[in-house]
Amino acid sequence: MFSLIVFWAFTGWVAIQLLYVALLYVRFFSLDAKSNPIAAQDMQCVSIVICAKNEAENLKKNLPIILNQDYSRNGSLMYEVVVVNDCSTDNTHNVLTELKKQYPHLREIIITPDTPRTVVGKKFALSEGIKQIANNWILLTDADCHPATTNWLACMAQPLSKGKEIVAGYAGHTAMPGLLNKFIRWETTHTFLQLSTYAMIGKPYLAIGRNLACTKVVCERAYQSPLWNIGPTGDDDLLVSVSSTATNTALVINPDAFTYSIPRDTFSGWRKQKQRHTSDGKNYKPEIKTLLAIYGISQAAVWVYFIYLLFTPFCNIAAILLLIRCVVYWLLWAATAKRLKEKNIISLLPLFDIGWMLYNFAFLPYILQKNKQHWT
């Protein structure tokens, strides 16, 4: 009797997993991967804002391509790059000073240790940077990121010219040797698949701060929210959660608009980063948290229940149902990875499927606790 109950529960979880694909995730493939950059006549001035704390080497490496974006009208640049130097103790200021000699559209905002802080962490640096810019269009990225091409800005600004207030772009990671690198890159594609399809059904909840365009009004709206002061991180989550609507958010998956950063190369460093990111999810809207939770629970339940059913008379039919579910998801993830230029992770998708179940069990406690980690 108990085995029968488990079998029907397993069947229900498989059905839920397949419904997420049929009703939600397949929408991803209707996105235009060849969207055009903004036309010159539609351009408005943009401020690219980067918060930096002891990022001298990353800035030296990544700023040149950001400072050489193809975004001009009648021969005049239509953007500035604003680096918010938040109490750096390394060579950050000197690097920026040297770069400003060659790139006059680079500006540095310095936050000193004695500057009164209204909020902790990166949020303060970001809010200070936004306050001191005049342009209404903003593009956010990080010091350790570089855009794929010089068309990055023009692609990310295009939806703003059509009246959108938030634009989410793909923020990938550089391919490097090792299983951890490939899992991080798969998890990044999986997250983008989720956030993009939720936005497509009018329920945006996240955009990655390494590649996020928005209007200044959106930022100010987020800063005025009581949620902004809850913790030191989660600026990108909260900006979307507070300011997004069913119609004001756009997605850009043109490869010219991708950004890339070097991921953590040790398990401990990655774990600490994910603890911080995962704990920020508690501030999502209740409906979003419910949908994400059901998806995560159903994925884990499918595997856990199947292991039990292996030792029951239902093992054969359970194996068939699991195979159907796995083929559907592995094909989905493979097609997503291909679209996001992450092809060399595809052969490991079966392993990552199980790995993501373990990931959810491992990081569940951090969803429930308050984030006390500071930006360092």
CA distances from 299 to 18, 67, 308, 355 (A): 10, 43, 15, 11
Q: Give the range among 170-174, 219-223, 365-369 with minimum mean pLDDT.
A: 365-369
pLDDT digits (tens, 9 = 90+) for 308-339: 999 999 999 999 999 999 999 999 999 999 99
The SS3 of residue 362 is helix
Please tell me the predicted confidence (pLDDT) of residue 86: 94
pLDDT digits (tens, 9 = 90+) for 261-308: 999 878 787 777 776 666 566 678 899 999 999 999 999 999 999 999
Nearest to 79 by CA among 133, 120, 26, 124: 133
Structure-token pair, residue 242: 């507070």
Q: How far apart are CA 181 and CA 266, in angstroms?
A: 9
Q: How far apart are CA 8 and CA 26, in angstroms?
A: 26
Please tell me the predicted confidence (pLDDT) of residue 232: 58
The CATH superfamily holding the domain 32-170+208-265 is Spore Coat Polysaccharide Biosynthesis Protein SpsA; Chain A (3.90.550.10)
Q: How far apart are CA 339 and CA 26, in angstroms?
A: 13
Please tell me the predicted confidence (pLDDT) of residue 13: 98
User: Residues with Cβ < 8 Å from 43, sequence gap 6 or more?
Assistant: 71, 73, 78, 157, 161
Q: pTM, whole model, 2 decimals? A: 0.92
Q: How far apart are CA 247 and CA 161, in angstroms?
A: 14
CA 172 to mean position of chain CA atoms: 8
Q: How far apart are CA 106 and CA 125, in angstroms?
A: 17
Q: pLDDT band for 230, please (50, 70, 90 cuts).
A: low
Please tell me the predicted confidence (pLDDT) of residue 266: 83
Pairing of strands 79-86, 46-52: parallel
Question: Which residues of the chain are in CATH 3.90.550.10 domains?
Answer: 32-170+208-265
Pairing of strands 212-215, 137-142: antiparallel
